[in-house]
Structure 1
């Protein structure tokens, strides 16, 4: 991985070492214990060099170009044929792209380009699909103060990449895991004996950790705020009830609508005055954005 690619990853809020580990594991899936692409090794001379274009096959929002660059660079190191690749990014993460747009070009040993192709595209297509889906939600909320949030419903091992893709698409991130934000949900409330008791226990055990409380009714929302909660998850509430909670809570807490939200209802939910809409589908149900690698023939 080049220093420029590492710089781009850091600028995106990604840890180059974590990205490197993801890529290494993905390449092992393809190359096996012997590190071998049998088709490319058999058909392409080690000395052959080509240029390939990374091309959008559909309209959308691109995300993960530096990650794709890191795949090609890492594959060159893994294959070990003594030569590197040069990646030139044409597009930028977060940009809208159209079918046929060239997003990047890659020049280097042809074996490396074809060996790395699927791993690079798997990550780039996945991340761009998340960014494209997120942008649709952000567009639907335009005109309101509400922002679309992701959740922990991510692909195991790819959370950092998928949450970055949400940011690139115009959304914002919730907690990264169970360690950085406490979230008191229904089972916690039941086990602790109520919303107020659960909130107090978390605050006493971890006084510096942000606490979010899930509530199901207007009464629970008021109880949670009066107990000290300053971030409420309003679970499966219709817009009329959301508006009541907004009126009752005022600016005493940030409010997040969650549960069963759809793009069709996004504008109506945003218009209630909530601060966020939490959408697990951003990461668990986004279709990929179709992107391909085309060797130049001239």
Structure 2
């Protein structure tokens, strides 16, 4: 796992937000030099995601406390299917340090494992169909790197990371540019990027996108029959991405239309956090 400055900044902000000047409850009740052994336990079936971020968090927290690291023994790895009741990891170290970091560490694991678990459910729904499930930019501000990592951990694929790394012409761009064809041609003439994706809402706009040599066309909120017709119109001349209103209930039907990609915003904006807890097992 390669960490970037943004991730470290987010983890530092989490420490400031939740710990601040210190855990006043533990300062009253826990001896400063007490060491403990604890376990992280999953309380429902899930796909694990986030352990590299948790390990990084405790490393940063050690510097914050001017303390030695918590020793973490991983019993499972990211991407594993974990059954309810299984111990994900064991932690050994200073009790005050561990208690201070408990909630942030669990928040990371619960959020990312929830995303990975939901993504895996979508992947299972399209088994046997040659289509890719993509995430979107509908992520928690500041947590995109982590959340898109969780999508990949669950078996999905990342769409563009941000506004700066790919051209995606959407309805508001088209409104300003005048038409789908004009938008695509202008983007093509910029010679900045090789691939141009454009959103369309009807067959007329699809024909414009194809005639302008767009590389990928996003079919915006089309119903199943319309997507099937769009696939027939495209005839392999352009890659097609289905977008809008995709759920676990209809994703297989969408995949069977013949589109190449399906973007699913709910992977990140609506994934339910899984239930994970930390229990101190022994005072050392």
Question: Do both proteins adopt the same fold according to a TM-score greater than 0.5, normalized to the shorter chain?
Answer: yes
2:209 aligned residue (224, 235, 238): 224
Tell me what 2:133 maps to. Answer: 148
Larger CA deviation: 102-111 vs 36-45 = 36-45
Tell me what 2:18 maps to. Answer: 30
Deviations 1:263-288, CA, capped at 9 Å, x for gaps: 11111110111111111111111010
Counterparts of 1:83 and 1:199, CA distance in 2: 55
1:167 aligned residue (152, 158, 162): 152
Q: Residues 38 and 282 of structure 2 are in contact (CA less than 8 Å); yes or no, is this contact kept in structure 1? A: no
| Cα RMSD after superposing both structures | 1.3
TM-score normalised by length of structure 2: 0.96
Deviations 1:65-110, CA, capped at 9 Å, x for gaps: 1111222222222112x32211111111111111111111111101
Aligned partner of residue 25 in structure 1, secondary structure:
helix
Shift in Å at residue 206 of structure 1? 4.6
Matched, 1:276 2:261: yes
Q: Which consecutive unaligned segments of at least 5 residues does structure 2 have? A: none
Q: Which consecutive unaligned segments of at least 5 residues does structure 1 have? A: 1-8
Counterparts of 1:16 and 1:216, CA distance in 2: 37
TM-score normalised by length of structure 1: 0.91
Tell me what 1:59 maps to. Answer: 45
Tell me what 1:99 maps to. Answer: 84
Shift in Å at residue 18 of structure 1? 3.1
Larger CA deviation: 202-211 vs 260-269 = 202-211
* Residues 128-277 of structure 1 mapped to structure 2, 5 A cutoff: 128-208=113-193, 210-277=195-262
Q: Residues 73 and 84 of structure 1 are in contact (CA less than 8 Å); yes or no, is this contact kept in structure 2? A: yes
Aligned partner of residue 108 in structure 1, secondary structure:
strand
Deviations 1:203-233, CA, capped at 9 Å, x for gaps: 2235325321001112211210110101010
Tell me what 1:50 maps to. Answer: 36
